[in-house]
Amino acid sequence: MPLVTTKEMFKKAYKEGYAIGAFNVNNMEMIQAIVEAANECRSPVILQVSAGARKYANPVYLRHLVAAAAETTDIPIAMHLDHGADFEICKDSIDNGFTSVMIDASSKPWDENIAITRKVVEYAHAHGVVVEAELGKLAGVEDDVKVDAKDALFTSPDEVEEFTAKTGIDSLAIAIGTSHGAYKFKPGQDPKLRLDILAEIEKRIPNFPIVLHGASSVPQDKVAIVNQFGGSMPDAIGIPESELTKAAKMAVCKINIDSDLRVAFTAAIRKHFVENPTHFDPRQYLGDARAMMKEMVKHKIVNVLGSANKI
């Protein structure tokens, strides 16, 4: 099936109270893991490409791998640019078949964020592509941008109406307590999302799809495998999955997950080498990594996002 935009996906997700998983991709095995999982769950899915992924894999490879994945299934797949830093990278992605782009000018002053976002929207919409933008600042690492916890800012509901009206965006990423990376909170902390802010935003811009970045939950069972087989990931916890499910039942239509998939991928490889010290064929350990990542994606779709059987 050809790639689609997120328009119809979000409309149905909003109405029926679930969210679509947006999973980051960097190589063939990751794309296969995600698409096979979504296909078996009969769930729409978003494959997203960061600046880091472009640097690592070359965008040409990534877009052909995504096209290959789409050709092998009938589920709706959107190809999304994650954290587009400027107009040029958004334009390049639009010109090369992406169906959705994020312009992330959230660290810029208000007027500048609006101006650059508006420019991307005009170009994207003229080419049938949808646009996500961000208001507020998440703590953690956003691609090459590191935002300290003290500088993180919740999105102000007072700003969302004007921002969406002036920019014409299709979805809005907000900061309500999520953060990027695998080391979000210390064990013993009780991280909660500011669902009150989300509810207020929903009131100000009804029927508008909201996006959550930094939504990994740091799967303790997979971290335990990493550490059992030679790793030493520090003790950390993420956003409780139950909080994400509550948000998905509200206005949140897209939930970004990257770190949890990376941990699953790495756990399988570490385990493989300890259990099979003589192996040297990449298909053996990458096959295990793909399988563990696929299991993680299925878990997210079925138990967290609620998007199974929604195509």
Active-site residues, by number, are 82
Out of 63, 80, 137, 180, point to the residue binding ligand G3H (CB under 6 A): 180
CB-based contacts of 212, cutoff 8 Å, min separation 6: 19, 173, 174, 176, 178, 244, 247, 252, 254, 255, 256
Tell me, residue by residue from 70 to 109, as one string, x for binding to ligand G3H by CB under 6 A and - for no binding: ------------xx--------------------------
213 binds Zn ion (CB under 5 A): yes
Tell me, residue by residue from 258 to 287, as one string, x for binding to ligand G3H by CB under 6 A and - for no binding: x-----------------------------
Phi–psi pair at 75, nearest 5 degrees: -80, 155
Cα–Cα distance measured from residue 196 to residue 203, given in angstroms and rounded to the nearest whole number? 11
Cα–Cα distance measured from residue 73 to residue 84, given in angstroms and rounded to the nearest whole number? 27
User: Tokens in use for 274?
Assistant: 């300890």
Out of 25, 45, 46, 53, point to the residue binding ligand G3H (CB under 6 A): 53
Per partner kind, with CB cut-offs from 5 to 8 A, the member of ligand 13P, Zn ion, ligand G3H, none near residue 215 is: ligand 13P
50 binds ligand G3H (CB under 6 A): yes
Q: Under a CB-based contact definition with an 8 Å cutoff, are residues 181 and 213 in contact?
A: no
Least separation in angstroms between CB 181 and Zn ion: 10
Contacting residues toward ligand 13P, per CB under 6 A: 24, 82-83, 180-181, 213-216, 256-260
Per CB under 6 A, the segment of 9-17, 46-54, 112-120, 224-232 that binds ligand G3H is 46-54
Place of tokens 């078996």: 40
User: Tokens in use for 271?
Assistant: 């385990």
Least separation in angstroms between CB 214 and ligand G3H: 7
- Short-list 51, 102, 64, CA closest to 254: 102
User: Tokens in use for 293?
Assistant: 């990542």
Q: Closer CB to ligand 13P, residue 76 or residue 214?
A: 214
CB-based contacts of 230, cutoff 8 Å, min separation 6: 270, 274
Applying CB under 5 A, the residues found at the interface with Zn ion are 213
Residues forming the site for ligand G3H (CB under 6 A): 24, 50-53, 82-83, 142-143, 180, 258
